[in-house]
Amino acid sequence: MENSNPESLANPMPTIEIIYAGGTIASFATPGGYREGGHDVDLVTELAKHLPEFNPDFEVGHKQTAYTGLSENMTAEYWSAIDCAVTDALTRNPRGIMLTHGTDSMEQTARHLMAQFGDALLQAKSRIILTGANEDMLHPQTDAWTNLQFALECGVKNDTEPGVYVAFHGRLVPAEYVIKLPLVGQDEATFVDSRSDEYKQALQTQYDHAQALNNRLLEHYGQRPDARAVVRYDTNIIRENHLEFLQFIDSHEIKSVLLTLYHSGTANTETPGQSVSELVQHLVSKGVVCFGVTENGEPVDLHSYETSVKLRQAGIVPLYDMPGSVALTKLQLLHTDLTAVQKIGEMLASKVGEINESLVNPEDIESLKALYNK
């Protein structure tokens, strides 16, 4: 990736700056079997080793690391570090900037960067391309290398308009429209344009499926949902703290909370006040049962990441592949006099096909029941 041809000096190749910002793509599996962040990896150098046939017609400029953690732990403080790195990169007038990032909060960071640097990128005729991977770089079927190659190529193309984009699985999506594709018929999470027919069709399919299950649940239980003791709370967004939610809990007779996790079944577990594991521990101490679903319908897996393990240990009961709206309806249909253990058992039992019981990990559930039975 070095330009050593003297004849090219009169017409130098375009340059792309590199900013590393953590995520699965730079994570490693621990002896415990889950992935952890905190690793500073030169992914572009690794790309050259894994794809030696890749012969780019551009220069790789300065590389810097702004963040090394998992993207579910992203905060405004880490965004500030990324902003500083982008500001520094723009001083060298690159054709583009590639920023590697975790998939959980990638859309949020992309929109943040567009708000912060949209005008500057337009003036500089440059673009920021975010990319990442569903599998870490050491996984035998990792998508890291193809995503990196695609992002680098998009970053230097003249026909890529100035702005901020997410490059993932062959799709280049503007920051203002990027969204996770609902998990309908595909094996893994990806990003699409919210204006696309692909997204609209997947969303409609997911909605129709959930509505059918909700209707069957209403018929099965033979009563109307009671929302007074149940609340849904989104933890798949970057929040300053959970104080407003805790105040709501304290002023209402809430018995169950349905938490919307990131698509990989994670949430912030690092920063005091923002940590969802800290929040769950507090709710459990108050006798509130915490259940978890994912934002796009991907099955909840509380074993894959250091953050998801902390959520499970704190007391989140995974609802696996149960759609979020279906989980909320079912919780509202349960009798209010059920104990926490009975409620967990009822939610994990398929009544009308709303959950795949083969996904349930009995050892995990027994540990969670013991936690709530204290």
Q: Tell me how far the alpha carbon of residue 91 is from its chain's centroid.
A: 31
At 96 the pLDDT is 97
Instruction: Say which residues have a Cβ less than 8 Å from residue 77's Cβ, sequence separation at least 6.
Output: none
pLDDT computed for residue 158 by the predictor:
84
Instruction: Give the whole-angstrom CA distance, residue 127 versus residue 301.
Output: 35
Computed over its alpha carbons, how large is the radius of gyration of the chain? 22
Checking if the pLDDT of 360 tops 70, the result is yes
Asked if residue 7 has pLDDT above 50, the reply is no
> Would you place residue 2 in the very low, low, confident or very high pLDDT band (cuts 50, 70, 90)?
very low
Architecture of domain 6-176: 3-Layer(aba) Sandwich (3.40)
The beta strand positions in the chain, using DSSP E, are 15-21, 28-29, 35-36, 59-67, 96-101, 127-131, 163-168, 171-174, 178-180, 191-193, 230-234, 256-261, 289-294, 316-318
For residues 144 and 136, the answer to whether their CB atoms sit within 8 Å is yes
Would you state the pLDDT for residue 55? 82
Tokens of 126: 């440059």
If you average pLDDT over residues 233-247, what whole number do you get?
96
| pLDDT tens by residue, 278-322 | 999 999 999 999 999 999 999 999 999 999 999 999 999 999 999
Report d(CA 218, CA 239) in Å as an integer: 34
Q: Which of 254, 269, 329 is nearest to 293 (CA)?
A: 329
CA-closest candidate to residue 294, choices 325, 257, 248: 325
Residue range 271-276: average pLDDT? 96
Cα separation of 211 and 208, whole Å? 5
Do residues 320 and 347 touch, judged by C-beta distance below 8 A? no
Residue 188 has pLDDT above 60, yes or no: yes
**Mean pLDDT of all residues in the chain?**
94
Tell me the domain boundaries of the chain. Answer: 6-176, 223-372
Q: What is the mean pLDDT of residues 61-89?
A: 97
C-alpha to C-alpha distance for 260 and 280, rounded to whole angstroms? 13
Using pLDDT thresholds of 50, 70 and 90, give the confidence band for residue 248.
very high
Helix (DSSP H) and strand (DSSP E) numbers for the chain: 11, 14
The whole-number pLDDT of residue 220 equals 97
Q: What's the confidence (pLDDT) of residue 186? A: 67
Summarised one tens digit per residue, pLDDT across range 129-152 is 999 999 999 889 999 999 999 999
**What would the pLDDT profile of 9-64 be if each residue is shown by its tens digit?**
555 789 999 999 999 999 998 888 889 998 999 999 999 999 988 888 899 999 99
> DSSP letters along 210-249, please?
HHHHHHHHHHHHTS----TTEEEEE-SS--S-SHHHHHHH
Domain 223-372 has CATH 3.20.20.70: no
Q: Do residues 1 and 59 touch, judged by C-beta distance below 8 A? A: yes
The Cα 163–Cα 219 span in angstroms is 50
Report whether pLDDT(157) > 50.
Answer: yes
- Tokens 């680098």 sit on residue: 152
Average pLDDT over residues 190-204: 96
Whether this prediction's pTM lies above 0.75 is answered by yes
> In this predicted structure, what is the pLDDT of residue 374?
82
For residues 206-230, average pLDDT: 95
Handedness of CA 190, 49, 154, 102 (dihedral sign): positive
Establish whether domains 6-176 and 223-372 are of one fold.
yes
Whole-number percent of the chain with pLDDT over 90: 87
Dihedral sign (CA 231, 233, 239, 241): positive
361 touches 246 (CB < 8 A): no
Q: What is the DSSP string of 172-211?
A: EEETTTEEEPP-SS-SS--EEETTSHHHHHHHHHHHHHHH
